[in-house]
Amino acid sequence: MTISRLPITGFSNPAVKAARSLREKKHRKREARFLAEGLRLLTEAREAGIVPEALWVGQHRDPHPLIDALERAVSDCGGVIYETTADILSKISGKDNPQTVLGVFSDLPTTLDRLDRTRSGIWLVAQAMRDPGNLGTMLRTCDAVGAGGLILVDQCVDPFSVEAVRASMGAVFTVPLAQADWGEFLGWLRAGPGQLVGTSLNTTHDYRGAAYASPSFLLIGNEAQGLPSNYEAHCDLLVKIPMLGKADSLNAAVAGAVMAYEVLAQQG
Amino acid sequence: MTISRLPITGFSNPAVKAARSLREKKHRKREARFLAEGLRLLTEAREAGIVPEALWVGQHRDPHPLIDALERAVSDCGGVIYETTADILSKISGKDNPQTVLGVFSDLPTTLDRLDRTRSGIWLVAQAMRDPGNLGTMLRTCDAVGAGGLILVDQCVDPFSVEAVRASMGAVFTVPLAQADWGEFLGWLRAGPGQLVGTSLNTTHDYRGAAYASPSFLLIGNEAQGLPSNYEAHCDLLVKIPMLGKADSLNAAVAGAVMAYEVLAQQG
């Protein structure tokens, strides 16, 4: 089967503008689509059964079997392949040295009811997380520890921003993700088994060797404010990560990872 | 004692241009100075005995005892205080909502010979680290675990970039920092006690419960390539952090923190 590619060389082509606009949140929301860049990320997606609606490839790309596989997958699913210049790839990605492949994906579902809490003993829950790098890094950590997924509570940064997708190193395609407000999350959580674990300065309970249940939901608060105290009150267990220096908190993604690896070690 | 403040309202004032230029690495190198933003960071610096050469304060700032303390410290040390508009603070910081205080600091020393390896049982060593957020986050982790310092090996991102300073949350002022190439570092390391620990995929040795000596130097490789294999060969101990998912690595700052907290737990 031959692969058909649509050549695009004009910056003013509407497809260029549409793809480029996905770097901005308001356009992502309106279009319910997002951008992912690079052969590695797009291959992770493909292997997870997620294929872009539109694939952009550079005119002067070196041949690569993984690009061939991507093109076949997009073609088989009825997607479109645009072949374009490095300058246009730069324009879409906003980078001087763009990747030679970009994909436009439909938003992935992020409802709580899709999550299967029996899938893993570890879940990460980020509350009001603001930094896309932290969000992507937490997805990557979820993948590494075999977590059930990442639950975004309250107003978090967009998990489908270019920065978050990039920082996830592809985990955005492989780790289940949900978005909910605090009330919804609590309702869902309490409808089944699960221990809510908060990291807090307001406890003497060391995170190391605390009694984690399975599944544990590890709640990490906002980068600047930490967890609201009334959220702490809903936790089944509050633990403290030692802070021996001047500062009173870790980077949020680091705190999530230190907690997740402790629970993983316990759960074996 | 009265505090004297120099009013600056013109964008073209050379002091504005000089401060603003410090957002770029080439100017930082030439001037051997760097920028730090915000009352929190500047207060961390002051409490560590590090005072900016120049302090920029907003005309319409709210009174704050920590700003008063900063102004007194700068004045006592013969530094200059510029009082300026929010627009000029925006121009210097490159942000729409600038902090109301900014400081211009002389570069901090980063030679290996300043480090005292008896100071702590944990040290972080980052090799060819490229991301300023990761570098700042590792400094913050060093503070949290009471590490002796962060050693940057080979060509790393500038630790005095605005992004790295910000991500460190002030730890750039409190955590000893050194820069060296691999050969220099090894020479320094082997001139005294110290176990070099590498994280690697090429071992079955789990990081958890491995026999860490004191001091341990935890070596974290470049974000994209990991550690060069000939560097691994120099390690006294190679350990593996479990990776249960699709990806074969963690974020570098996360890997450093997971390792550092394991060593901290062992060393008590």
pLDDT in tens, B180-190: 999 999 999 99
B243 and B125 both lie in a single domain: yes
Q: What is the DSSP string of A140-197?
A: HHHHHHT-S-EEEESS---TTSHHHHHHTTTHHHHS-EEEE-HHHHHHHHHTS--EEE
Cis geometry, peptide bond prior to residue A215 (ω within 30 degrees of 0)? yes
Contact assignment for B208 to A258 by CB distance below 8 Å: no
B72 has a pLDDT exceeding 70: yes
Cis geometry, peptide bond prior to residue B63 (ω within 30 degrees of 0)? no
Top-confidence residue, B247 or A217: A217
- Residues of chain B numbered 170-209 and touching chain A (CB < 8 Å): 170-171, 174-175, 208
B226 and B162 both lie in a single domain: yes
- CATH number, domain of B119, equals 3.40.1280.10
- CATH number, domain of A55, equals 3.30.1330.30
A33 found inside a domain: yes
Asked if the C-beta of B53 comes within 8 angstroms of chain A's C-beta atoms, the answer is: no
A167 and A216 both lie in a single domain: yes
Measured at the alpha carbon of residue B137, what is the angle toward residues B101 and A213, in degrees to the nearest 5?
125
Q: Closest Cα of chain A to B260: distance in Å? A: 10
B205 has a pLDDT exceeding 80: yes
The nearest alpha carbon in chain A to B264 belongs to: A242
A1 has a pLDDT exceeding 70: no
Residue B1 is predicted with a pLDDT of: 64
Which is it for strands A54-58 and A101-106: parallel, antiparallel or unpaired?
antiparallel
A15 found inside a domain: yes
Q: Which of A65, A84, A106 is the last residue of a domain?
A: A106
DSSP bridge pairs for B179: B152
A122 has a pLDDT exceeding 90: yes
Residue A221 is predicted with a pLDDT of: 96
Asked if the C-beta of B144 comes within 8 angstroms of chain A's C-beta atoms, the answer is: yes
What confidence category does residue A100 fall into, taking pLDDT thresholds of 50, 70 and 90? Answer: confident
A79 and A148 both lie in a single domain: no
Entry field: residues in chain B: 268
**B124-133 confidence digits (pLDDT tens):** 999 999 999 9
What confidence category does residue A32 fall into, taking pLDDT thresholds of 50, 70 and 90? Answer: very high
A238 and A139 both lie in a single domain: yes
Residue B183 is predicted with a pLDDT of: 97
B26 has a pLDDT exceeding 80: yes
d(CA B189, CA A165): 38
Find the mean pLDDT for residues A197-203: 91
User: Which residue range is the domain that position B164 belongs to?
Assistant: 112-267
> What's the total number of domains in chain A?
2
Largest distance between two CA atoms of chain B: 65
Percentage, residues of chain A above pLDDT 70: 100
A70 and A178 both lie in a single domain: no
B84 and B166 both lie in a single domain: no
Q: Which of B47, B145, B242 sits opposite A244 (nearest CB)?
A: B145
Contact assignment for A246 to B208 by CB distance below 8 Å: no
- B260's CB contacts (< 8 A; 6+ apart) are B122, B124, B141, B142, B145, B147, B218
Assign residue B49 a region (left: φ > 0; alpha: ψ between -120 and 50; beta: otherwise). Answer: left
B68 found inside a domain: yes
A198 has a pLDDT exceeding 70: yes
Find the mean pLDDT for residues B74-99: 92
Contact assignment for A44 to B246 by CB distance below 8 Å: yes
Residue B117 is predicted with a pLDDT of: 96
d(CA B156, CA B77): 32
Which residues does chain B have within 8 Å of residue A141's beta carbon, measured at their own beta carbons? 250-251, 254
Which residues does chain B have within 8 Å of residue A145's beta carbon, measured at their own beta carbons? 242, 244-245
Among A41-55, A84-98, B42-56, which stretch is predicted with the lowest mean pLDDT? A84-98
Find the mean pLDDT for residues A26-33: 95
Asked if the C-beta of A69 comes within 8 angstroms of chain B's C-beta atoms, the answer is: no
Q: Which of B76, B106, B136 is the last residue of a domain?
A: B106
A131 and A92 both lie in a single domain: no
Among A69-78, A116-125, A198-207, which stretch is predicted with the lowest mean pLDDT? A198-207
User: Which two tokens mark B166?
Assistant: 């910000």
DSSP bridge pairs for A179: A152
Which is it for strands B101-106 and B54-58: parallel, antiparallel or unpaired?
antiparallel
d(CA A221, CA A234): 13
Look up residue A216 and give its amino acid: S
d(CA B77, CA A94): 44
Residue B137 is predicted with a pLDDT of: 98
B81 and B160 both lie in a single domain: no
Helix (H) or strand (E) holding B7: strand B6-8
A81 and A185 both lie in a single domain: no
Contact assignment for B171 to A242 by CB distance below 8 Å: no
A263 found inside a domain: yes
Q: How many CB pairs under 8 A join A and B?
A: 111
Q: Closest Cα of chain A to B206: distance in Å? A: 11
Q: How does the average pLDDT of chain B come out, rounded?
A: 95
Helix (H) or strand (E) holding A89: helix A86-93
Q: Which of A133, A142, A247 sits opposite B144 (nearest CB)?
A: A247
Helix (H, G, I), strand (E, B) or coil at A108: coil
Residue B253 is predicted with a pLDDT of: 98
What confidence category does residue B33 fall into, taking pLDDT thresholds of 50, 70 and 90? Answer: very high
A201 has a pLDDT exceeding 90: no
When computed from its CA atoms, the radius of gyration of chain A, rounded to whole angstroms, is 20
Percentage, residues of chain B above pLDDT 70: 100
Helix spans in chain B (H)? 14-21, 25-31, 39-47, 65-76, 86-93, 132-145, 162-167, 171-174, 182-190, 229-232, 252-267
What confidence category does residue B202 fall into, taking pLDDT thresholds of 50, 70 and 90? Answer: confident
End-to-end CA distance of chain A: 47
A240 has a pLDDT exceeding 90: yes
Q: Closest Cα of chain A to B245: distance in Å? A: 5
Q: Which of A60, A79, A106 is the last residue of a domain?
A: A106
What confidence category does residue A98 fall into, taking pLDDT thresholds of 50, 70 and 90? Answer: confident
A119 and A41 both lie in a single domain: no
A1 found inside a domain: no
B228 found inside a domain: yes
Asked if the C-beta of A47 comes within 8 angstroms of chain B's C-beta atoms, the answer is: yes
User: Which two tokens mark A80?
Assistant: 């479109």
B12 found inside a domain: yes
Contact yes or no for B100/B57 (Cβ under 8 A) = yes
B70 found inside a domain: yes
What confidence category does residue A76 fall into, taking pLDDT thresholds of 50, 70 and 90? Answer: very high
B57 and B157 both lie in a single domain: no
A235 has a pLDDT exceeding 90: yes
**B133-157 confidence digits (pLDDT tens):** 999 999 999 999 999 999 999 999 9
Can you state the angle between helices A39-47 and A65-76, rounded to 10 degrees?
A: 50
A39 has a pLDDT exceeding 90: yes
Residue A92 is predicted with a pLDDT of: 93
